[in-house]
Protein backbone atom coordinates (compact mmCIF):
# COMPACT_ATOMS: atom_id res chain seq x y z
CA UNK A 1 0.00 0.00 0.00
CA UNK A 2 1.38 3.49 -0.87
CA UNK A 3 2.66 5.47 2.16
CA UNK A 4 0.03 8.19 1.67
CA UNK A 5 -2.97 5.85 1.68
CA UNK A 6 -3.61 6.27 5.42
CA UNK A 7 -2.39 9.82 6.02
CA UNK A 8 -3.37 12.14 3.13
CA UNK A 9 -6.77 13.28 1.86
CA UNK A 10 -6.68 12.90 -1.93
CA UNK A 11 -8.79 14.95 -4.33
CA UNK A 12 -11.81 13.89 -6.37
CA UNK A 13 -11.93 10.30 -5.12
CA UNK A 14 -13.28 8.04 -2.39
CA UNK A 15 -10.35 7.71 0.00
CA UNK A 16 -10.71 3.94 0.32
CA UNK A 17 -10.32 3.63 -3.46
CA UNK A 18 -7.07 5.60 -3.72
CA UNK A 19 -4.14 3.40 -4.68
CA UNK A 20 -1.70 5.28 -6.88
CA UNK A 21 2.03 4.79 -7.45
CA UNK A 22 4.51 7.05 -5.72
CA UNK A 23 6.32 9.30 -8.20
CA UNK A 24 9.97 9.97 -7.47
CA UNK A 25 11.10 11.73 -10.63
CA UNK A 26 10.35 12.58 -14.22
CA UNK A 27 11.85 13.61 -17.52
CA UNK A 28 10.09 14.96 -20.59
CA UNK A 29 6.71 13.29 -20.96
CA UNK A 30 7.57 10.46 -18.56
CA UNK A 31 7.09 9.95 -14.83
CA UNK A 32 9.34 7.68 -12.77
CA UNK A 33 7.81 5.59 -9.98
CA UNK A 34 9.27 4.41 -6.70
CA UNK A 35 9.15 0.81 -7.94
CA UNK A 36 11.27 1.64 -10.98
CA UNK A 37 8.67 2.01 -13.72
CA UNK A 38 8.56 4.69 -16.45
CA UNK A 39 5.02 5.95 -17.15
CA UNK A 40 4.17 7.94 -20.27
CA UNK A 41 1.97 10.86 -19.24
CA UNK A 42 -0.83 11.39 -21.81
CA UNK A 43 -2.72 13.99 -19.77
CA UNK A 44 0.07 16.30 -18.52
CA UNK A 45 -1.12 15.08 -15.10
CA UNK A 46 -3.98 17.56 -14.46
CA UNK A 47 -3.58 19.09 -17.95
CA UNK A 48 -0.91 21.31 -16.41
CA UNK A 49 2.56 19.89 -17.14
CA UNK A 50 2.70 21.40 -20.62
CA UNK A 51 6.51 21.46 -20.57
CA UNK A 52 6.82 17.92 -19.28
CA UNK A 53 8.48 16.98 -16.02
CA UNK A 54 11.64 18.42 -14.49
CA UNK A 55 12.28 20.80 -17.36
CA UNK A 56 15.96 21.73 -16.91
CA UNK A 57 15.55 25.43 -17.70
CA UNK A 58 12.86 25.81 -15.03
CA UNK A 59 14.67 23.70 -12.45
CA UNK A 60 17.76 25.85 -12.88
CA UNK A 61 15.77 29.11 -12.74
CA UNK A 62 14.16 28.11 -9.45
CA UNK A 63 17.52 27.04 -8.02
CA UNK A 64 19.12 30.36 -9.01
CA UNK A 65 16.23 32.41 -7.62
CA UNK A 66 16.28 30.48 -4.34
CA UNK A 67 19.94 31.38 -3.92
CA UNK A 68 19.10 35.10 -4.32
CA UNK A 69 15.67 35.58 -2.73
CA UNK A 70 13.09 32.99 -1.77
CA UNK A 71 10.26 35.25 -0.64
CA UNK A 72 9.04 38.77 -0.28
CA UNK A 73 5.39 39.79 -0.06
CA UNK A 74 3.49 41.62 -2.78
CA UNK A 75 3.85 44.82 -0.73
CA UNK A 76 7.48 44.86 -1.93
CA UNK A 77 8.84 44.58 -5.45
CA UNK A 78 10.48 41.47 -6.83
CA UNK A 79 12.41 41.25 -10.10
CA UNK A 80 10.95 37.95 -11.38
CA UNK A 81 7.40 39.19 -10.64
CA UNK A 82 7.94 42.34 -12.68
CA UNK A 83 9.52 40.39 -15.53
CA UNK A 84 6.75 37.79 -15.67
CA UNK A 85 4.03 40.45 -15.72
CA UNK A 86 5.86 42.16 -18.58
CA UNK A 87 6.06 38.90 -20.54
CA UNK A 88 2.38 38.07 -20.02
CA UNK A 89 1.26 41.49 -21.22
CA UNK A 90 3.57 41.17 -24.21
CA UNK A 91 2.42 37.68 -25.24
CA UNK A 92 -1.26 38.56 -24.81
CA UNK A 93 -1.03 41.96 -26.47
CA UNK A 94 -2.68 43.60 -23.43
CA UNK A 95 -0.61 46.74 -23.80
CA UNK A 96 -1.09 49.09 -20.87
CA UNK A 97 -2.80 46.38 -18.82
CA UNK A 98 -1.83 44.90 -15.49
CA UNK A 99 -1.35 41.46 -13.93
CA UNK A 100 -2.53 40.22 -10.56
CA UNK A 101 -0.82 37.05 -9.37
CA UNK A 102 -2.69 34.32 -7.50
CA UNK A 103 -1.84 30.86 -6.22
CA UNK A 104 -3.77 28.88 -8.82
CA UNK A 105 -6.74 28.73 -11.15
CA UNK A 106 -9.65 28.87 -8.69
CA UNK A 107 -8.49 32.07 -7.02
CA UNK A 108 -7.58 33.54 -10.42
CA UNK A 109 -11.19 33.08 -11.55
CA UNK A 110 -12.55 34.46 -8.30
CA UNK A 111 -10.31 37.52 -8.53
CA UNK A 112 -11.25 38.08 -12.17
CA UNK A 113 -14.88 38.26 -11.06
CA UNK A 114 -13.97 40.51 -8.13
CA UNK A 115 -12.06 42.89 -10.41
CA UNK A 116 -14.89 42.95 -12.97
CA UNK A 117 -17.40 43.94 -10.33
CA UNK A 118 -15.14 46.59 -8.86
CA UNK A 119 -13.98 48.06 -12.18
CA UNK A 120 -17.53 48.16 -13.53
CA UNK A 121 -18.86 49.59 -10.27
CA UNK A 122 -21.34 46.71 -10.04
CA UNK A 123 -20.45 45.26 -6.62
CA UNK A 124 -23.39 42.83 -6.73
CA UNK A 125 -23.42 42.39 -10.50
CA UNK A 126 -24.47 39.05 -11.94
CA UNK A 127 -21.88 36.76 -13.51
CA UNK A 128 -22.96 34.46 -16.34
CA UNK A 129 -21.21 31.11 -16.67
CA UNK A 130 -21.94 27.80 -18.40
CA UNK A 131 -23.52 24.56 -17.38
CA UNK A 132 -20.97 21.74 -17.75
CA UNK A 133 -18.06 24.04 -16.88
CA UNK A 134 -15.34 23.91 -14.24
CA UNK A 135 -13.67 26.95 -12.69
CA UNK A 136 -12.30 25.55 -9.43
CA UNK A 137 -13.33 23.90 -6.15
CA UNK A 138 -13.43 26.78 -3.65
CA UNK A 139 -16.98 27.86 -2.74
CA UNK A 140 -16.86 30.88 -5.03
CA UNK A 141 -15.42 28.84 -7.89
CA UNK A 142 -17.94 26.05 -7.32
CA UNK A 143 -20.71 28.62 -7.68
CA UNK A 144 -19.17 29.75 -10.95
CA UNK A 145 -18.86 26.16 -12.15
CA UNK A 146 -21.64 24.20 -13.79
CA UNK A 147 -20.30 20.99 -12.26
CA UNK A 148 -22.70 18.17 -11.39
CA UNK A 149 -20.27 16.79 -8.80
CA UNK A 150 -20.50 19.85 -6.55
CA UNK A 151 -23.91 21.27 -7.50
CA UNK A 152 -25.48 20.39 -4.13
CA UNK A 153 -22.72 22.14 -2.14
CA UNK A 154 -23.35 25.71 -3.16
CA UNK A 155 -26.18 28.00 -4.32
CA UNK A 156 -25.03 29.93 -7.41
CA UNK A 157 -27.73 32.57 -7.03
CA UNK A 158 -26.40 33.42 -3.56
CA UNK A 159 -23.14 34.31 -5.32
CA UNK A 160 -25.05 36.22 -8.04
CA UNK A 161 -24.18 33.61 -10.66
CA UNK A 162 -26.48 32.34 -13.40
CA UNK A 163 -25.70 29.33 -15.59
CA UNK A 164 -26.61 29.05 -19.27
CA UNK A 165 -26.63 25.99 -21.58
CA UNK A 166 -23.24 25.22 -23.15
CA UNK A 167 -22.23 25.29 -26.84
CA UNK A 168 -22.17 21.48 -26.81
CA UNK A 169 -22.60 20.78 -30.53
CA UNK A 170 -22.64 16.97 -30.24
CA UNK A 171 -25.65 17.17 -27.91
CA UNK A 172 -26.81 20.69 -28.72
CA UNK A 173 -29.23 21.95 -26.05
CA UNK A 174 -30.71 24.31 -28.65
CA UNK A 175 -31.40 21.48 -31.15
CA UNK A 176 -29.44 23.33 -33.80
CA UNK A 177 -28.89 21.58 -37.13
CA UNK A 178 -25.17 22.28 -37.38
CA UNK A 179 -22.16 22.93 -35.15
CA UNK A 180 -21.93 26.55 -36.29
CA UNK A 181 -25.60 27.11 -35.59
CA UNK A 182 -25.21 25.62 -32.10
CA UNK A 183 -22.36 28.01 -31.34
CA UNK A 184 -24.39 30.98 -32.52
CA UNK A 185 -27.45 29.87 -30.56
CA UNK A 186 -25.40 29.54 -27.36
CA UNK A 187 -24.12 33.11 -27.74
CA UNK A 188 -27.64 34.35 -28.47
CA UNK A 189 -28.90 32.73 -25.26
CA UNK A 190 -26.25 34.62 -23.29
CA UNK A 191 -27.36 37.85 -24.94
CA UNK A 192 -30.94 37.11 -23.93
CA UNK A 193 -29.94 36.41 -20.32
CA UNK A 194 -27.96 39.66 -20.13
CA UNK A 195 -30.93 41.58 -21.54
CA UNK A 196 -33.35 39.88 -19.14
CA UNK A 197 -31.29 40.90 -16.11
CA UNK A 198 -30.41 44.28 -17.62
CA UNK A 199 -26.84 44.97 -18.80
CA UNK A 200 -26.37 47.42 -15.94
CA UNK A 201 -26.88 44.51 -13.52
CA UNK A 202 -24.48 42.06 -15.19
CA UNK A 203 -20.80 42.44 -14.27
CA UNK A 204 -19.21 39.75 -16.45
CA UNK A 205 -19.50 36.64 -18.54
CA UNK A 206 -16.94 33.97 -17.57
CA UNK A 207 -16.28 31.20 -20.10
CA UNK A 208 -13.63 28.71 -21.21
CA UNK A 209 -12.54 29.59 -24.78
CA UNK A 210 -11.56 26.01 -25.66
CA UNK A 211 -10.16 23.16 -23.60
CA UNK A 212 -11.68 22.31 -20.26
CA UNK A 213 -12.18 19.23 -18.13
CA UNK A 214 -15.88 19.30 -19.02
CA UNK A 215 -14.84 18.01 -22.44
CA UNK A 216 -16.86 20.56 -24.43
CA UNK A 217 -15.06 22.30 -27.28
CA UNK A 218 -17.24 25.11 -28.60
CA UNK A 219 -17.82 25.56 -32.35
CA UNK A 220 -15.74 28.30 -33.96
CA UNK A 221 -18.80 30.54 -34.20
CA UNK A 222 -19.25 30.77 -30.44
CA UNK A 223 -16.40 32.84 -29.03
CA UNK A 224 -16.44 35.71 -31.59
CA UNK A 225 -20.24 35.94 -31.27
CA UNK A 226 -19.93 35.99 -27.48
CA UNK A 227 -17.34 38.77 -27.68
CA UNK A 228 -19.66 40.85 -29.89
CA UNK A 229 -22.51 40.23 -27.47
CA UNK A 230 -20.64 41.35 -24.35
CA UNK A 231 -18.98 44.31 -26.05
CA UNK A 232 -22.33 45.62 -27.35
CA UNK A 233 -23.78 45.47 -23.83
CA UNK A 234 -20.75 46.88 -21.98
CA UNK A 235 -20.31 43.65 -20.00
CA UNK A 236 -16.81 42.36 -19.28
CA UNK A 237 -15.77 39.06 -20.86
CA UNK A 238 -13.47 36.89 -18.74
CA UNK A 239 -11.61 34.07 -20.51
CA UNK A 240 -10.88 31.16 -18.19
CA UNK A 241 -7.62 30.11 -19.85
CA UNK A 242 -6.41 28.06 -16.88
CA UNK A 243 -6.28 24.89 -18.98
CA UNK A 244 -6.37 26.19 -22.56
CA UNK A 245 -3.40 28.60 -22.50
CA UNK A 246 0.34 28.16 -23.02
CA UNK A 247 0.21 26.01 -26.12
CA UNK A 248 -2.44 23.55 -25.04
CA UNK A 249 -4.66 24.73 -27.89
CA UNK A 250 -1.85 25.76 -30.21
CA UNK A 251 -1.58 29.42 -29.17
CA UNK A 252 -0.23 31.31 -26.20
CA UNK A 253 -3.89 31.86 -25.29
CA UNK A 254 -6.78 29.99 -26.92
CA UNK A 255 -8.76 33.13 -27.77
CA UNK A 256 -5.93 34.27 -30.06
CA UNK A 257 -7.22 31.87 -32.75
CA UNK A 258 -9.89 34.50 -33.37
CA UNK A 259 -7.58 37.52 -33.50
CA UNK A 260 -8.77 40.84 -32.13
CA UNK A 261 -12.39 39.73 -32.58
CA UNK A 262 -11.85 37.30 -29.73
CA UNK A 263 -9.88 39.45 -27.26
CA UNK A 264 -11.43 39.27 -23.75
CA UNK A 265 -11.30 41.97 -21.10
CA UNK A 266 -9.65 39.72 -18.52
CA UNK A 267 -7.93 36.34 -18.53
CA UNK A 268 -7.51 33.83 -15.72
CA UNK A 269 -4.32 31.75 -15.96
CA UNK A 270 -2.57 28.95 -14.06
CA UNK A 271 -1.41 25.39 -14.89
CA UNK A 272 0.89 25.91 -17.92
CA UNK A 273 1.98 29.30 -16.55
CA UNK A 274 4.86 27.53 -14.81
CA UNK A 275 4.35 24.18 -16.53
CA UNK A 276 3.16 23.15 -13.03
CA UNK A 277 6.71 23.20 -11.67
CA UNK A 278 5.53 25.56 -8.92
CA UNK A 279 2.02 26.80 -7.98
CA UNK A 280 1.04 30.07 -9.66
CA UNK A 281 -2.02 31.71 -11.15
CA UNK A 282 -2.68 35.11 -12.64
CA UNK A 283 -5.35 37.50 -13.82
CA UNK A 284 -4.37 39.55 -16.85
CA UNK A 285 -6.39 42.75 -17.16
CA UNK A 286 -6.85 44.91 -20.23
CA UNK A 287 -5.76 48.55 -20.13
CA UNK A 288 -9.37 49.70 -19.76
CA UNK A 289 -10.02 47.47 -16.74
CA UNK A 290 -6.68 48.40 -15.21
CA UNK A 291 -7.38 52.13 -15.62
CA UNK A 292 -10.75 51.71 -13.91
CA UNK A 293 -9.14 50.00 -10.91
CA UNK A 294 -6.04 52.16 -10.48
CA UNK A 295 -7.74 55.08 -8.62
CA UNK A 296 -9.49 52.66 -6.26
CA UNK A 297 -8.17 50.77 -3.26
CA UNK A 298 -7.86 47.07 -4.06
CA UNK A 299 -9.45 45.27 -1.11
CA UNK A 300 -7.91 41.90 -1.67
CA UNK A 301 -4.67 40.10 -0.98
CA UNK A 302 -2.87 36.77 -0.90
CA UNK A 303 0.21 36.25 1.25
CA UNK A 304 2.00 34.41 -1.54
CA UNK A 305 0.76 36.57 -4.42
CA UNK A 306 3.57 36.78 -6.97
CA UNK A 307 5.91 34.53 -4.97
CA UNK A 308 9.43 35.13 -6.36
CA UNK A 309 10.23 31.42 -6.78
CA UNK A 310 6.99 30.77 -8.67
CA UNK A 311 7.45 33.86 -10.84
CA UNK A 312 11.01 32.79 -11.68
CA UNK A 313 9.55 29.46 -12.80
CA UNK A 314 6.98 31.35 -14.87
CA UNK A 315 9.61 33.45 -16.62
CA UNK A 316 11.64 30.32 -17.43
CA UNK A 317 8.50 28.56 -18.67
CA UNK A 318 7.66 31.34 -21.12
CA UNK A 319 11.28 31.42 -22.30
CA UNK A 320 11.10 27.65 -22.83
CA UNK A 321 7.85 27.74 -24.80
CA UNK A 322 9.43 30.36 -27.05
CA UNK A 323 12.93 28.86 -27.40
CA UNK A 324 11.55 25.41 -28.26
CA UNK A 325 8.82 26.78 -30.59
CA UNK A 326 6.22 24.80 -28.69
CA UNK A 327 3.20 26.70 -30.03
CA UNK A 328 3.98 25.42 -33.53
CA UNK A 329 4.87 21.99 -32.21
CA UNK A 330 1.55 21.75 -30.38
CA UNK A 331 -0.37 22.63 -33.54
CA UNK A 332 1.57 20.14 -35.65
CA UNK A 333 1.39 17.23 -33.22
CA UNK A 334 -2.19 18.14 -32.38
CA UNK A 335 -3.15 17.80 -36.04
CA UNK A 336 -1.43 14.41 -36.18
CA UNK A 337 -3.10 13.21 -32.98
CA UNK A 338 -6.53 14.42 -34.08
CA UNK A 339 -6.21 12.67 -37.43
CA UNK A 340 -5.27 9.39 -35.74
CA UNK A 341 -8.25 9.69 -33.38
CA UNK A 342 -10.56 10.25 -36.34
CA UNK A 343 -9.22 7.04 -37.89
CA UNK A 344 -9.94 5.23 -34.64
CA UNK A 345 -13.48 6.60 -34.64
CA UNK A 346 -14.22 5.06 -38.06
CA UNK A 347 -13.26 1.63 -36.77
CA UNK A 348 -14.81 1.69 -33.31
CA UNK A 349 -18.59 2.13 -32.73
CA UNK A 350 -18.02 3.27 -29.14
CA UNK A 351 -16.36 6.53 -30.25
CA UNK A 352 -19.30 8.83 -30.80
CA UNK A 353 -17.44 12.09 -31.20
CA UNK A 354 -13.87 13.39 -31.50
CA UNK A 355 -13.33 17.07 -30.80
CA UNK A 356 -10.47 19.49 -30.20
CA UNK A 357 -7.36 19.21 -32.34
CA UNK A 358 -6.35 22.89 -32.32
CA UNK A 359 -3.27 21.87 -30.35
CA UNK A 360 -2.31 18.88 -28.22
CA UNK A 361 -5.79 18.53 -26.77
CA UNK A 362 -8.58 16.23 -27.87
CA UNK A 363 -11.64 14.56 -26.41
CA UNK A 364 -13.15 11.18 -27.22
CA UNK A 365 -16.79 10.89 -26.22
CA UNK A 366 -17.79 7.26 -25.74
CA UNK A 367 -21.30 5.99 -26.48
CA UNK A 368 -23.09 2.65 -26.41
CA UNK A 369 -24.34 3.11 -29.96
CA UNK A 370 -23.29 5.75 -32.46
CA UNK A 371 -26.76 6.14 -34.00
CA UNK A 372 -28.49 6.80 -30.67
CA UNK A 373 -25.62 8.67 -29.02
CA UNK A 374 -26.54 6.99 -25.73
CA UNK A 375 -23.69 7.80 -23.32
CA UNK A 376 -21.50 4.95 -22.18
CA UNK A 377 -22.40 6.01 -18.64
CA UNK A 378 -24.55 8.75 -17.06
CA UNK A 379 -22.57 11.95 -16.58
CA UNK A 380 -20.27 12.18 -14.68
CA UNK A 381 -20.01 8.48 -13.74
CA UNK A 382 -17.04 6.43 -14.96
CA UNK A 383 -18.07 3.12 -16.51
CA UNK A 384 -16.47 0.09 -14.84
CA UNK A 385 -15.03 -1.09 -18.17
CA UNK A 386 -13.50 2.31 -18.83
CA UNK A 387 -11.91 2.12 -15.40
CA UNK A 388 -10.44 -1.25 -16.41
CA UNK A 389 -9.12 0.30 -19.63
CA UNK A 390 -7.24 2.94 -17.61
CA UNK A 391 -5.77 0.21 -15.41
CA UNK A 392 -4.68 -1.86 -18.42
CA UNK A 393 -3.04 1.21 -19.96
CA UNK A 394 -1.17 1.89 -16.73
CA UNK A 395 0.02 -1.71 -16.64
CA UNK A 396 1.36 -1.10 -20.16
CA UNK A 397 3.19 2.04 -19.00
CA UNK A 398 0.82 4.76 -20.22
CA UNK A 399 -1.38 7.07 -18.12
CA UNK A 400 -4.62 8.27 -19.76
CA UNK A 401 -7.19 10.60 -18.19
CA UNK A 402 -10.94 9.99 -18.27
CA UNK A 403 -13.98 11.72 -16.85
CA UNK A 404 -17.46 10.30 -17.14
CA UNK A 405 -17.81 8.96 -20.68
CA UNK A 406 -14.88 11.06 -21.94
CA UNK A 407 -11.22 10.31 -22.55
CA UNK A 408 -9.17 13.51 -22.37
CA UNK A 409 -5.90 13.56 -24.30
CA UNK A 410 -3.52 16.36 -23.35
CA UNK A 411 0.10 15.12 -23.41
CA UNK A 412 3.03 17.42 -22.65
CA UNK A 413 3.98 19.58 -25.63
CA UNK A 414 7.46 18.02 -25.51
CA UNK A 415 6.25 14.44 -26.03
CA UNK A 416 8.20 12.50 -28.64
CA UNK A 417 6.48 11.63 -31.91
CA UNK A 418 7.09 7.91 -31.46
CA UNK A 419 5.83 7.93 -27.88
CA UNK A 420 2.67 9.72 -29.01
CA UNK A 421 2.09 7.25 -31.85
CA UNK A 422 2.67 4.24 -29.58
CA UNK A 423 0.28 5.58 -26.95
CA UNK A 424 -2.46 6.13 -29.54
CA UNK A 425 -1.93 2.62 -30.92
CA UNK A 426 -2.30 1.26 -27.39
CA UNK A 427 -5.47 3.28 -26.89
CA UNK A 428 -6.88 1.94 -30.17
CA UNK A 429 -6.30 -1.65 -29.04
CA UNK A 430 -7.76 -1.07 -25.61
CA UNK A 431 -10.84 0.66 -27.02
CA UNK A 432 -11.34 -2.33 -29.30
CA UNK A 433 -11.34 -4.60 -26.27
CA UNK A 434 -13.67 -2.17 -24.48
CA UNK A 435 -16.13 -2.30 -27.39
CA UNK A 436 -16.10 -6.08 -27.22
CA UNK A 437 -16.72 -6.04 -23.47
CA UNK A 438 -19.61 -3.57 -23.76
CA UNK A 439 -21.34 -5.38 -26.62
CA UNK A 440 -20.88 -8.93 -25.31
CA UNK A 441 -21.15 -8.19 -21.62
CA UNK A 442 -17.88 -10.03 -21.05
CA UNK A 443 -14.61 -8.69 -19.75
CA UNK A 444 -11.88 -8.48 -22.44
**How confident is the prediction along the chain (444 residues), in pLDDT tens digits per residue?**
778 999 999 999 999 999 999 999 999 999 999 999 999 999 999 999 999 999 999 999 999 999 999 999 999 999 999 999 999 999 999 999 999 999 999 999 999 999 999 999 999 999 999 999 999 999 999 999 999 999 999 999 999 999 999 999 999 999 999 999 999 999 999 999 999 999 999 999 999 999 788 899 999 999 999 999 999 999 999 999 999 999 999 999 999 999 999 999 999 999 999 999 999 999 999 999 999 999 999 999 999 999 999 999 999 999 999 999 999 999 999 999 999 999 999 999 999 999 999 999 999 999 999 999 999 999 889 999 999 999 999 999 999 999 999 999 999 999 999 999 999 999 999 999 999 998 886 544
Give, rounded to a whole angstrom, the gap between the first and last alpha carbons of the chain.
27
Q: What is the H or E stretch that residue 87 is in?
A: helix 79-92
Kindly report the backbone phi and psi dihedral angles of residue 231, in degrees, each rounded to the nearest multiple of 5, phi listed first: -65, -40
d(CA 225, CA 221): 6
Query: Closest Cα to residue 412, out of 45, 19, 10, 22?
Result: 45
Q: Which residues of 127-137 are buried (b: 16+ CB within 10 A; e: fewer)?
A: bbbbbbbbbbb
d(CA 195, CA 315): 42
Beta strands in 202-315 (DSSP E): 202-207, 236-240, 266-269, 281-285
What residues does 409 pair with on adjacent strands? 362
As a whole number of Å, the CA-based R_g of the chain is 21
Q: What is the H or E stretch that residue 353 is in?
A: strand 351-356
Those residues whose C-beta lies under 8 Å from the C-beta of residue 359, and which sit 6 or more positions away, are: 247, 248, 249, 250, 251, 327, 330, 331, 334, 413
Those residues whose C-beta lies under 8 Å from the C-beta of residue 421, and which sit 6 or more positions away, are: 340
Those residues whose C-beta lies under 8 Å from the C-beta of residue 31, and which sit 6 or more positions away, are: 23, 25, 38, 39, 41, 53, 399
Helices 326-347, 308-323: axis angle to 10 degrees equals: 70
- Provide the pairing of β-strand 281-285 with 98-102: antiparallel
Those residues whose C-beta lies under 8 Å from the C-beta of residue 233, and which sit 6 or more positions away, are: 191, 194, 195, 199, 202
Identify the burial level of 76 via C-beta atoms within 10 angstroms of its C-beta, where 0-12 means exposed, 13-18 middle and 19 or more buried. exposed
Kindly report the backbone phi and psi dihedral angles of residue 279, in degrees, each rounded to the nearest multiple of 5, phi listed first: -70, 135
Amino acid sequence: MPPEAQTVLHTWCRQSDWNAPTIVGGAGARLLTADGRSILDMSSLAECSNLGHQHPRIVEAVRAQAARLCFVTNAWGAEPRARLAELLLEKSGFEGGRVYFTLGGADANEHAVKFSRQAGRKPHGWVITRERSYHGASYGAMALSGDARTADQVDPTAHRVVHVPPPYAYRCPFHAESEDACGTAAAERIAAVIDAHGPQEVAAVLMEPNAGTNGIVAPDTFWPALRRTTRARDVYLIADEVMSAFGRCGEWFAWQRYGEDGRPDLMALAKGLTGAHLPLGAVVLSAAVARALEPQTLFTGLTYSGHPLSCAAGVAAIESYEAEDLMSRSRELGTTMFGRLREMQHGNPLIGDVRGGHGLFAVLELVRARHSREPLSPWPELHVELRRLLGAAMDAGVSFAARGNLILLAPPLVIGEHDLADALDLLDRLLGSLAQAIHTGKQP
